[in-house]
Amino acid sequence: GESVGLHLPTLSVQEGDNSIINCAYSNSASDYFIWYKQESGKGPQFIIDIRSNMDKRQGQRVTVLLNKTVKHLSLQIAATQPGDSAVYFCAEGQSGSARQLTFGSGTQLTVLP
Amino acid sequence: DTEVTQTPKHLVMGMTNKKSLKCEQHMGHRAMYWYKQKAKKPPELMFVYSYEKLSINESVPSRFSPECPNSSLLNLHLHALQPEDSALYLCASNWGAGGNYGYTFGSGTRLTVV
């Protein structure tokens, strides 16, 4: 999603459904990408990463898809659970000595019972 | 130990106070970072230390002063802050050049400047 002013994009899904969170990244030179989950009052928690030489990577209940042509990243969460409710950030980075990350604007995921 | 530990978790300080935020990791990571996060916004990079040397300062005001006493510790010294500096301050670490890309973040220090 893309941010508008101070409002986080939001996504509400029913418990048990699949969630798809989207992210547009900005730098065509970025060669790795990370998805983070941030719960209220906590620091970002690593979910999954992907390098630019891949277009798909799967983890436990999560899949990240990378489309370099349109600079688009998505996170798919299977069988969404209440504990998945959080803000999700994508981050992009470039190989180099400092491994800097630039974060996207974030998406608030709310899982409905 | 796979954690980044930040202290204190919460801090309230006046504009004339001097305080320090602390960050510690024992994963052998050689790069450490300070980020600032405002409500409903993504983290923004402030400083990067690589092998205990400051490698990046993202034009941060001098009222924020980082220090890396050794490879496991990172401090952020605060002096004469403004109310707009109130935010969540996050520390992160990773292997740095040639290593695992993934960052590990601490839980942050919630700073309120009054």
Is it the case that residue A2 has pLDDT exceeding 70? no
Residues of B with CB under 8 A from a CB of A: 4, 6, 31, 40-45, 48, 50, 55-56, 90, 92, 94, 96-97, 101-108, 110
Is it the case that residue A96 has pLDDT exceeding 90? no
- Distance between CA atoms of residues A52 and A88, nearest Å: 20
Report the percent of chain B where pLDDT is more than 90: 80
Reduced to 3 states (helix: H, G, I; strand: E, B; else coil), residue A83 is helix
pLDDT the model gives residue A91: 92
Average pLDDT, integer, range B48-71:
94
pLDDT band at A1 (very low <50, low <70, confident <90, very high): very low
pLDDT digits (tens, 9 = 90+) for B30-47: 899 999 999 989 999 999
Nearest to B43 among A8, A45, A103 (CB): A103
Residue of B nearest to A51 (CA): B101
Q: How many CA atoms lie within 13 A of B17 on its CB side?
A: 13
| DSSP assigned state of A69 | T
pLDDT band at B101 (very low <50, low <70, confident <90, very high): low
pLDDT digits (tens, 9 = 90+) for A18-31: 999 999 998 888 88
Q: Are A27 and A73 a contacting pair, CB within 8 Å?
A: no
